[in-house]
Amino acid sequence: MKVTIEMVAKRAGVSKATVSRIINGNYLQTTQETKERILQVIEEMNYKPNLLAKGLKQMKTNVLGIVLSNLKNPFWTRVLEGFEDTCRKSGYSLMICNSNEDGQLEEELIRDLRHRMVDGIVVNPTPGDKQHFMQLVDEHYPIVIINRKVEGIDADSVTVDNRAGARLAVEHLLKLGRRRLAIMVHDPVGVSTWQERIDGFCETLREHGVPPEHYEVCIVPQQNEGEVKKAVIDLLERFSPDAIFSTNNMMTLEIMDGIHEYGWTIPDQIALLGYDETVWSKHLQPALTTISQPSYEMGALAAQKLISRIKSKNEGSGATTTVLEPSLIVRKSCGSGIVK
């Protein structure tokens, strides 16, 4: 049986006009409790307001949504610049959402964006269940996945070759004579970028004949404040590495704090190489050697792919994946010669 707006209104205990306002993103005359109740009923009844009538089905808002996993990370600033510049040139506005690595919140944000009738959505996915992505694809809703991969989802995507980035980092450190390497990373389960950096790190060391006892993968909890510094001090105490590869720019600052607190100096006693170039990387003491990702290009390409899908009414060719290449920016944090 087809679900109608009358049925939604009856179950939610409100008028059709109230349901219509919520569907169109007009919350000013509605309490938070009523809004949440209506959205819950819409989800439970699998009501699709954008399919109600031909006019609404063809409605175009010229607004795109983007859901990112952690807006505290400065990497996303340049991604958003590329995304917004491309949107503006094509006549689109955008709505920015932050899932804060919360899968349930991510699903709610995507649902809310659809209720607001955005023309398409770009997502940097969180770990966890991906049923909501499968539903979007099944309904031929325009969506593009960026940065991280979602296995089994036939959607356009823009990623970076993280294995290649790790290879650049390791080969640079080995070239400088570093022989006891550690990689520091948050729990990679469900996060393709972090897992690929670990894989690239280990594969490159094996290819260069470095024995397993001379390198270590150090996994650090993401949510607990102070865990990175604590892990660094423990790592220096028990493993005594001569180089650390940080897989996240926010983690890099905490690693530096831990090294300094332990009393070691960079790069004399230990090299530090960070993943992601930031505006502050060159201003650190010492200036940080980094793996730079083409973040602006990632945002621009994601917007181009999404707009192309919208204009073609999500018909035509199958899903495409664009893999961008990282680069090495050499500064002073790894030293400049063979370590004695």
Q: What is the CATH number of the domain that holds 19?
A: 1.10.260.40
Q: Please provide the size of the chain in residues.
A: 340
Domain-located, residue 51: yes
Is 46:55 a contact under the CB 8 Å cutoff? Answer: no
What is the structure's pLDDT at 304?
Answer: 97
- The domain total for the chain is 2
Q: What is the pLDDT of residue 51?
A: 41
Domain encompassing residue 8: 1-59
Q: Is residue 128 part of a domain?
A: no
196: in domain: yes
Domain membership flag for residue 41 = yes
Instruction: Identify the pLDDT of residue 151.
Output: 87
With respect to residue 250, please indicate whether it lies within any of the assigned structural domains: yes
Please state, in angstroms and rounded to a whole number, the distance separating the CA atoms of residues 316 and 313.
9
Q: Rounded to 10 degrees, what is the CA torsion of 44, 50, 54, 56?
A: 130
User: 199 φ, ψ to 5°?
Assistant: -60, -45
Q: What is the pLDDT of residue 56?
A: 45
For 188-253, give the DSSP string.
-TT-HHHHHHHHHHHHHHHHTT--GGGEEEEEE-SSSTTHHHHHHHHHHHHT--SEEEESSHHHHH
- Whether residue 303 is contained in a domain is answered as no
Domain edge (last residue) among 23, 43, 59:
59
Give residue 268's pLDDT: 96
Q: Are residues 55 and 166 in the same domain?
A: no
pLDDT of residue 222: 80
Q: Bridge partners of 187?
A: none
Q: What is the pLDDT of residue 254?
A: 95
Query: What does the pLDDT profile of the chain (340 residues) look like in tens digits?
Result: 678 888 999 999 999 888 888 887 777 778 888 988 998 998 888 887 654 444 444 568 899 999 999 998 999 999 999 999 999 999 999 999 999 999 999 999 999 999 888 999 999 999 887 888 998 988 889 999 999 999 888 999 999 999 999 999 999 999 999 999 999 999 988 899 999 999 999 999 999 999 999 999 999 988 778 899 999 999 999 999 999 999 999 999 999 999 999 999 999 999 999 999 999 999 999 999 999 999 999 999 999 999 999 988 766 678 999 999 999 999 999 998 644 4
In a domain, 202, yes or no: yes
Residue finishing a domain among 59, 84, 108: 59
CA angle 103, 290, 285 (to 5 degrees): 110
Q: Which amino acid is at 72?
A: K
Identify the CATH number of the domain in which residue 181 sits.
3.40.50.2300
- Asked which of 59, 74, 94 is the last residue of a domain, the reply is 59
| Residue at 258 is within a domain | yes
Give the pLDDT confidence score for residue 330 in this predicted structure.
97
| pLDDT at residue 210, as a whole number | 97
CA separation for the pair 75, 50 (Å, rounded): 34
Output the CA–CA distances (angstroms, integers) from residue 92 to 84, 123, 283, 293, 306, in the order listed: 8, 17, 36, 25, 11
Which amino acid, residue 291?
Answer: I
Q: Cα-atom radius of gyration of the chain, to the nearest Å?
A: 23
